[in-house]
Structure 1
Amino acid sequence: MLTVHHLNNSRSQRVLWLLEELGVPYEVKHYQRDAKTMLAPPELRAVHPLGKSPVITDGDITVAETGAIVEYILERYGNGRLVPAAGTPQKLAYTHWLHFAEGSAMSPLLMKLVFGVLPDRAPKLLKPIVKGISAKAQAGFVDPQLKAHQAYWEDTLSKSEWFAGPEFSGADVMMSFPIEAAASRAPFGDDKPKLKAFLARIHARPAYKKALERGGPYAYA
């Protein structure tokens, strides 16, 4: 049976959600972050050399990286579901957002996270310097990037209900994490009605709720 090696408050929540949408049987092996470092436990290295989540095992097959996992699951178990027809504009959009979610979207979000915690982890004498550098980096580069990305997402959702067109797809599963992460750092205001509506739609889906039951507490929901 397919096993999801699931880390709390991580991108692997999307994998559980996708499996619930498809009705694919699976098992969950839970891992907890270190309370101080927030890093994954070393036990995950027994599954994959990088020791990170998400990772799935399916028989003797091991797949890491969320995008690759989503593609594998949809190709093996999807039977054509949640993927637009080949050769259509929707399929091109689907491919774009599938890769965008872990490429362009996550870079500024990760930088926001790093620069946000860096001052607290700096030596006491260096804290003021590190805090100033972090603030300048966020204000001068990271925050403008996040603002541009959110405007791009909002504009896309103003043209269609879902990222790859009128139908829900694996692209929406992939885009859920960067959007939820962005909203957790700075809740969307009235100028982002489409993003707020997107989050409301996915959170209301029965499969999303079932995945939360299987995965446990999830800070971004």
Structure 2
Amino acid sequence: MITVHHLRNSQSERVVWLCEELNLDYRLKIHERRSDNRLAPNDYKALHGVGTAPVVVDDGFVIAESGAICDYLNYRYGGGALAPNASHADYPDHLFWFHWSNASYMAALSIERVLAMTGGSAPAFIVDRVRRSQMLIENRPSGAPYFGGSALSTADIMMLFCLTTMRGFTGGSLSDMPATREYLARIGARPAYRRAMEKAEGGRTIAID
């Protein structure tokens, strides 16, 4: 059976949501953050060499990294249901947002967060990168209802954490992003997302502001 190791308030919430959207049979193991520094406890770090969330164990395999886990579960157990075929018109958008979410956007947000935690401020180029990222998100050229195009895909699974939990860490506002707020409201109403948050985070809802 698939075991999802969920570290509270972390990127592993993506995996719980994915499992619910795919209606997979899985076991959820909750890990609390350390009380002294809010980081992952040693038993979580011992699961995989990277020492960070998320981690999934399946049939003796230990898999880390959000994108890798999304692809693994979607294609091995979901029949690729949450990704458009390479010949589909939505495929380029899906591919971009799926990879951009962590490779570029999360990287910039993480720098902001770490500097804030240590009493510093982000350099101008990081502030500009975050601002440009928010503009890109709000004014998506395709105008599609989902990041991956016309239907929910793993691109949405990847992007949502950046716009919700990570935004809570950095204190970002969506006051000038009405299209993004509407998108978050739709995602927050999805039964699979609600089930995931109930299981993983005690029913936490999306803050839209």
TM-score norm. by structure 1 comes to 0.86
Say which SS state the counterpart of residue 63 (structure 1) adopts.
strand
Say which SS state the counterpart of residue 28 (structure 1) adopts.
strand
Partner Cα separation in structure 1 for residue 166 and residue 36 of structure 2: 22
Q: What amino acid is aligned across from residue 178 of structure 1 in structure 2? A: C
RCO (CA 8 Å, sep 6+): is it higher in 1 or 2?
1
Unaligned runs of 5+ in 2: none
1:214 is matched with which residue: 182, 199, 207?
199
Q: Sequence identity of aligned pairs in percent?
A: 36
Q: What is the 5 A alignment of 1:77-116?
A: 77-116=77-116
For 2:150, the equivalent position in structure 1 comes to 166
Relative to structure 1, the CA distance from residue 104 to residue 52 in structure 2 (aligned partners, 3 Å threshold; closer, same or farther) is same
Partner Cα separation in structure 1 for residue 115 and residue 141 of structure 2: 29
Partner Cα separation in structure 1 for residue 178 and residue 189 of structure 2: 16
RMSD: 1.8
Residue 145 of structure 2 is aligned to residue 155 of structure 1: no
Unaligned runs of 5+ in 1: 120-133
Residue 58 (structure 1) shift = 0.6
* Contact 2:197–2:204 (8 Å) recurs in 1: no
Residue 187 of structure 2 is aligned to residue 202 of structure 1: yes
| Number of aligned positions between the proteins | 204
Say which SS state the counterpart of residue 3 (structure 2) adopts.
strand
* Contact 1:157–1:195 (8 Å) recurs in 2: no
Q: Deviations over 1:1-21 (max 9, x none)?
A: 100011000000010001001
Q: What is the 5 A alignment of 1:115-134?
A: 115-119=115-119, 134=120
Structure 1 residue runs of 4+, over 6 Å off?
none
- Which protein is bigger by CA-based radius of gyration? 1
- Of 170-179 and 150-159, more deviation after overlay is shown by 150-159
TM-score norm. by structure 2 comes to 0.91
Q: Deviations over 1:125-182 (max 9, x none)?
A: xxxxxxxxx23x34x2322211100000111177111112111111111100111146
Partner Cα separation in structure 2 for residue 216 and residue 165 of structure 1: 28
Residue 183 (structure 1) shift = 4.1
Structure with the larger helix share: 1
Residue 187 of structure 2 is aligned to residue 187 of structure 1: no
